[in-house]
Amino acid sequence: MNAIDSYVTADGRTIGAAVMEMKNITLRFGGVTAIKDISFDIREGEVRAIIGPNGAGKSSMLNVINGFYHPQEGEVWFHGKKRLAMKPHQIAKQGIARTFQNIALFKGMSTLDNIMTGRLTHMKTGMMSQMMWWGGAQAEEVANREVVEKVIDFLEIQAIRKTPVGRLPYGFQKRVELGRALAAEPKLLLLDEPMAGMNVEEKEDMSRFILDVNDEFGTTIALIEHDMGVVMDIADRVVVMDYGKKIGDGTPDEVRNNQDVVDAYLGVAHD
Amino acid sequence: MPANFYYGIEVFLNGMMAGVLYSLVALGFVLIFKASGIFNYAQGVMALFAAMTLVGFQNGQIPFSHLINTIFGTNIHHFGWHLPAILAIILTLMVMILFAYLVEKYVLKHLVNQEPIILFMATIGLAYFMEGFGDLMWGADIKKLDVGLPQGGNTWIEANTAFLGGDDFYGFYLDNLDMWATVFAGLLVVTLVLFSQYTKTGRALRAVADDHQAALSVGISLRAIWVIVWSIAGFVALVAGIMWGSKSGVQFSLSLIALKALPVLMLGGFTSIPGAIIGGLIIGVGEKMFEFLIGAPFLGGATENWFAYMLALVFLVFRPQGLFGDKIIERV
């Protein structure tokens, strides 16, 4: 890490060098260009927000980062190395975890099992050993279970440990999904609209969890959010997208005063 | 108690055991359908192929001997050894795992995100390919499969229950093979349930069954899971092949047991393992009891051929998702 690059925020967190660099990313679906020549970076330990009107290409950008989409042009650099075309599950093994805009949980499984799946990248015993429940399999299961219990305590969802998540209310499902991502102990956590459809109280809870994750575990977070108030409160830096292009990048204050951003959100008078 | 009452019990027990065999086949369908949304038409042929391969290994048959003889004018057919059953079963299992790997590599991989009907058509193609390939490899003649399981009626049970029904009743007739099949099927199901509930691979299997994208995002390789699922389905097919093959010989009609699994699936639901078991038992008991109580006395018999499908039709009308299937809820 380059020492010159790092700085300390007002609330005492250290922001390091860039862990993730997107260089001139262009993504097309047939004739539609979802992302047009966008570059930005995510620094170690920061909360980086991606905002923009509907259809701006924010979710597509997150999908590029975690490998669901492969951009036609541009490069993705992770930890100072150019990333070659990888499958999403390989990228997950590199330490990138995510949540989804429309919750993607394993609905038939309990909260505990859902969060346990987040530990899969940390479990190494072979099939035979698991099948016979011998060797490392049992010890591994127990050790990983401890991590999961910590996540459950952290997110205050002890009461719903055994409940199949399909039966949980929306706010809890969002929380379980965050828990599954956290259980992976990711180096980079991607959150796609973690507060969509929540009421004020739930939003406050979720904001607190996100900040605590960032603060206590030093996890780097990139998130998409529509609620500007929330973004301005929790993000260190903000990328603004509109129609697949980047129209702003900087601290919340800088972005707020950027004329292009104001135009994109409020509309421009045509005269 | 009249003797007929005890015969009724005997029919019921035999129905249960026949049902277990139906369940075994249905189980293979459910496993693959849950994990990949594919209705695997080839499941029955997989059972036939597994049984053929097992017999071939046991008797030391030379694979593709007909082909080799035709091309080179030789006259080879057997290696001249006999493998013990357990060794042949292990070898057959390895063949089924290799088969799963090849199916994933050459078929499924290229059909990701296709419509279910396309995948279904692919499995039909696969079924006919396997059938032909199996014949080419081991020959199309009817084979006798014997892995050392006891056959025929159990005389001990018969002798010790004869006193129940008086002079007209000669004791319960229960087939040894059926009873062993029940025991093995039970063990298989318990193992599968434990495996899927308490191991990380099992958890990954369930995760893939629920949501492909989310599974990828936590680092599960879909392709690896598909190989595992098809291997397990291959194993289930092997067990079904052994049981049905020992009962009625290894021949083409073995692959038609897949058709018997269809009503079981409609009853139990395509996505439920317990559903496959209960569905199989209901069909097995239902068709035997219907034949005993109504079919034979009033309808001239042979109702077993159609009863299961009738029952499935009734279920489709009143509960299309089956007894245990996921509820079909369409949001408007």
Residues A190, A78 within the same domain: yes
Residues A192, A255 within the same domain: yes
* Torsion sign across C-alpha atoms B250, B251, B252, B253: negative
Q: Which of B195, B207, B219 sits opposite A92 (nearest CB)?
A: B219
Q: B301 φ, ψ to 5°? A: 80, -175
Residues A267, A204 within the same domain: yes
Q: Which of A104, A116, A119 sits opposite B214 (nearest CB)?
A: A104
Residues A112, A60 within the same domain: no
Using a CB–CB cutoff of 8 Å, tell me whether B190 touches chain A: no
**Mean pLDDT over all residues of chain A?**
88
Q: A190 φ, ψ to 5°? A: -105, 125
- In single-letter form, the type of residue at position A84 comes to L
- What pLDDT does residue B150 have? 84
> pLDDT above 70 covers what percent of chain A?
93
Q: Which two tokens stand for residue B94?
A: 């390895």
The three-class DSSP label of residue A245 is: strand
Containing A193, the helix (H) or strand (E) segment is none
The three-class DSSP label of residue A38 is: strand
d(CA B81, CA B91): 15
Q: Which of A105, A113, A137 sits opposite B203 (nearest CB)?
A: A113
Whether B331 maps to a domain, the answer reads no
d(CA B188, CA A69): 40
Sort out which chain B residues have CB atoms less than 8 A from A143's CB and list them. Answer: none
Q: Which two tokens stand for residue B115?
A: 């419509």
CB contacts < 8 Å between A and B, how many?
89
Residues A86, A119 within the same domain: no
Which residues have C-beta within 8 Å of that of residue A211, sequence separation ≥ 6? A47, A234
d(CA A123, CA A93): 11
The three-class DSSP label of residue A84 is: coil
A120/B198 Cβ within 8 A = no
Whether B324 maps to a domain, the answer reads no
Residues 199-238, chain B: which have Cβ within 8 Å of A? 199-204, 206-207, 209-211, 213-222, 228
> Shortest Cα distance from A124 to chain B (angstroms)?
9
The three-class DSSP label of residue A97 is: strand
> Shortest Cα distance from B201 to chain A (angstroms)?
7
Residues A152, A220 within the same domain: no
Query: If phi over 0 gives left and psi between -120 and 50 gives alpha, with beta otherwise, what is residue B171?
Result: left
Whether B47 maps to a domain, the answer reads yes
Q: Where a domain ends, among A161, A184, A207? A: A184
Closest CA to A209 of A244, A238, A184, A172: A172
> Shortest Cα distance from A103 to chain B (angstroms)?
9
In chain B, which residue's Cα lies nearest the Cα of A180?
B218
**Mean pLDDT over all residues of chain B?**
86
The three-class DSSP label of residue A197 is: coil
Q: Which two tokens stand for residue A120?
A: 């899969």
Q: HSE on the CB side for A42, CA within 13 Å?
A: 27
The CATH number covering residue A25 comes to 3.40.50.300
| Intra-chain end-to-end CA distance of chain B, in Å | 58
d(CA A66, CA B274): 36
Chain A interface residues (partner B, CB cutoff 8 A): 66, 68, 87-90, 92-93, 97-98, 100, 104-109, 113, 116-121, 123, 125, 127, 130-131, 133, 137, 140-141, 180-181, 184
Beta bridge partners of A250: A238
Residues A167, A201 within the same domain: no
Number of structural domains in chain A? 2
Residues A132, A27 within the same domain: no
> Shortest Cα distance from B224 to chain A (angstroms)?
11
Whether B329 maps to a domain, the answer reads no
Mutate to test the interface with A, among B200, B206, B213, B324 (most CBs of A within 10 A): B200
* Torsion sign across C-alpha atoms A104, A106, A112, A116: negative
Q: Higher-confidence residue: A266 or B114?
A: B114
Sheet holding A73-78, edge to edge: A32-43, A18-29, A73-78, A81-82
Residue A269, pLDDT above cutoff 70: no
Sort out which chain B residues have CB atoms less than 8 A from A123's CB and list them. Answer: 200
In chain A, which residue's Cα lies nearest the Cα of B325?
A108
Residues of chain B with pLDDT under 70: 1, 165-167, 325-332
d(CA B87, CA B307): 39
d(CA A133, CA B97): 21
Residues A166-193: pLDDT tens digits? 889 998 999 999 999 999 999 999 999 9
* Torsion sign across C-alpha atoms B144, B148, B153, B155: positive
Residue A205, pLDDT above cutoff 70: yes
Domain that holds residue B81: 3-318
**For residue A3, what pLDDT band results from cuts at 50, 70 and 90?**
very low
- What pLDDT does residue A1 have? 41
d(CA B200, CA B178): 34
How much is the pTM?
A: 0.83
Q: B269 φ, ψ to 5°? A: 95, 140
A118/B211 Cβ within 8 A = no
CA distances from B22 to A108, B15, B181, B236, B287 (A): 26, 10, 11, 12, 12
Residue A34, pLDDT above cutoff 60: yes
Describe chain A by its helix, strand, coil percentages, rounded to 5. Answer: 40, 25, 35
In the block, which residue shows the tokens 């030379």? B62
What's A53's DSSP letter? S
Sort out which chain B residues have CB atoms less than 8 A from A105's CB and list them. Answer: 210-211, 214
d(CA A28, CA A36): 8
Domain that holds residue A247: 1-95+186-271
- What pLDDT does residue B97 have? 95
Containing A127, the helix (H) or strand (E) segment is helix A127-132
d(CA B47, CA B144): 15
Q: Convert chain B into a string of H (helix), E (strand) and C (coil).
A: CCHHHHHHHHHHHHHHHHHHHHHHHHHHHHHHHHHHCCCCCCHHHHHHHHHHHHHHHHHCECCCHHHHHHHHCCCCCECCCCCCHHHHHHHHHHHHHHHHHHHHHHCHHHHCCCCHHHHHHHHHHHHHHHHHHHHHHHCCCCECCCCCCCCCECHHHHHHHHHHHHHHCCCCCCEHHHHHHHHHHHHHHHHHHHHHHHCHHHHHHHHHHHCHHHHHHCCCCHHHHHHHHHHHHHHHHHHHHHHHHHHHCECHHHHHHHHHHHHHHHHHCCCCHHHHHHHHHHHHHHHHHHHHHHHHHHHCCCCHHHHHHHHHHHHHHHCCCCCCCCCCCCCC
Q: Where a domain ends, among A118, A153, A184? A: A184
Whether B328 maps to a domain, the answer reads no
Rounded CA Rg of chain A? 19
The three-class DSSP label of residue A36 is: strand
**Number of CB atoms found within 10 A of residue B152's CB:** 9
A104/B217 Cβ within 8 A = yes
Residues A143, A267 within the same domain: no
Cα angle for residues B47, B50, B55 (degrees, 5° grid): 125
In the block, which residue shows the tokens 């949540």? A99
B200/A89 Cβ within 8 A = no
In contact, A21 and A41? CB cutoff 8 Å: yes
Whether B113 maps to a domain, the answer reads yes
A121/B218 Cβ within 8 A = yes
Q: Is the ipTM of this complex over 0.90?
A: no
Number of structural domains in chain B? 1
Whether B135 maps to a domain, the answer reads yes
d(CA B241, CA B51): 5
Whether B326 maps to a domain, the answer reads no
Q: Which of A87, A90, A117 sits opposite B207 (nearest CB)?
A: A117
Q: Where a domain ends, among A167, A184, A201? A: A184
d(CA B53, CA B61): 9
**For residue A128, what pLDDT band results from cuts at 50, 70 and 90?**
low
- What pLDDT does residue B190 have? 86
Q: Which of B210, B211, B219 sits opposite A89 (nearest CB)?
A: B219
Residues A136, A195 within the same domain: no
